[in-house]
Structure 1
């Protein structure tokens, strides 16, 4: 994160204003402590500090010192990715320039951050900008959250280790997915367009799936590789959806044998 800047105060016969931006940044950094993780990513099974948590941690300290941070999108890139068995997700990649201004001295500093968001609807840009703001504040003030992109996952509990490999996107929400550097676990499908993407889509769709749509969603989950992490996670999401929709155990058993049939045909 390269920072550039100027002192916008004009030269006069009066004593120039004291350069105070760096000192104020250091003061804010000293006040902000570890931010608690109030967000939860159920698909990847980890907690994270949300953008709202980060903003709340620094907002008052910045306002008290007349510090302003203004984002400006300087570049937007779009691409679509195919989803298994139809449908597309849109990925937005934003280059965001942040201008940090000291209201007392007039000093300014600017830096750029990349933000990426993925959504099957119209929220990809919002997610990308939200992520950019979050990471800008995290890195500018060196805010500790416990999320280490170089974490090899050894400190996670056994339940977390049963989740599918983490992905450095906001496909499932406003999280900070820890990026793994170790090799993929056994049975893991290739990351690009593989079983993990399908499982992520199933988890997302399961929250709003209707009774009419459920058989097709269930069939997609059953189509994932047997014994894979992706199938395990997708299966849990589908079971939760079945319970929410009121399907009986018998109806689910019928779908396990004949996944393409409508639920309830035999009972």
Structure 2
């Protein structure tokens, strides 16, 4: 009777590589993912989940790597629409577990995903967003964003012979929540609705702190009221999803002397 014992693993056998080593190899193979998606109504481009999955799928499969999502927390909220009616907003906390099919090694991490819809698609949007950003951040995939196009004003640029002013991550959401008495309205009533909707939609797709800052500059120009609050909430959610520390500005107590 002949045996069928497998040959012992050699030092160079790919199955000896650690999970982190395999992930680093995938990262090294993935090139920039362009923004092939287009939202014609709100006039912005975005990298689709399908493009991002396609960029890493074969490289992960070749190394026997699996990424399995599991929803661990679900939060529902109702959101008033500026033109009447309500949307359903869901926030999912999704745990992703990386499995190495060769070694059995596992690593887990959590990502937030948000989706908003009038019908029954909010959950699917949230899960799609969570998968998209899990892959983007896990493999540090660039999506074609210009890191200098972040809405900075000239005063934020470095002076000759000096370093640029350090900006704290909390400035974006804080500036929007606080509002600005001198901010110029973005447009009249109808246009402001469209501007706010565009900011909310782009905040859901934002993948970098620079994008959030640029959206914050646009949101400050909205007229005070529900539209600005809605944009601020969307930016705070984006900052939370991306792990950007945010805090609300201090408010003066009624009757306090200034």
Same fold by TM-score greater than 0.5: yes
What are the residue-to-residue correspondences of 1:92-241 with 2, within 5 Å? 92-147=90-145, 151-153=149-151, 164=195, 167=199, 169=201, 175-176=205-206, 178-181=211-214, 183-184=217-218, 188-190=222-224, 193-194=226-227
2: CA distance between counterparts of 1:77 and 1:149? 32
Aligned to 1:68: 66
Q: Give the corresponding residue for 1:229.
A: none
Distance 1:195 1:100 in 2: 39
Q: Does the CA contact (< 8 Å) of 2:114 and 2:126 recur in 1?
A: yes
Pick closer, same or farther for the CA change 1:151–1:110 going to 2, 3 Å: farther
Given that 2:94 and 2:110 are in contact with CA atoms closer than 8 Å, whether structure 1 keeps it comes out as: yes
Deviates most, 79-88 or 50-59: 79-88
Q: What is the CA distance between 1:36 and its match in structure 2?
A: 1.5
Report the secondary structure of 2:223's partner residue: coil
TM-score by length of 1: 0.57
1:46 is displaced (CA, Å) by 1.9
Aligned to 2:25: 27
Separation in 1 of the partners of 2:93 and 2:51? 23
What TM-score do you get using the length of structure 2 for normalisation?
Answer: 0.59
Q: Could you give the per-residue CA deviations for residues 192-243 of structure 1, whole angstroms, max 9, x where no partner exists?
A: 7317979xxxxxxxxxxxxxxxxxxxxxxxxxxxxxxxxxxxxxxxxxxxxx
Instruction: Give the distance between the partners of 1:104 and 1:124, measured in 2 at CA.
Output: 36
Which residue is 2:38 aligned to? 40
CA distance in 2, matches of 1:83, 1:89: 7
Cα deviation for residue 150 of structure 1 reads 8.6
- Unaligned segments of structure 1, at least 5 residues: 1-13, 155-160, 199-267
What CA distance in whole angstroms lies between the structure 2 residues aligned with 1:108 and 1:22? 10
Describe the shift of the 1:23–1:195 C-alpha distance in structure 2 as closer, same or farther (beyond 3 A).
Answer: closer
Question: Could you tell me whether the CA contact under 8 Å between 1:117 and 1:169 is conserved in 2?
Answer: no
Aligned residues: 177
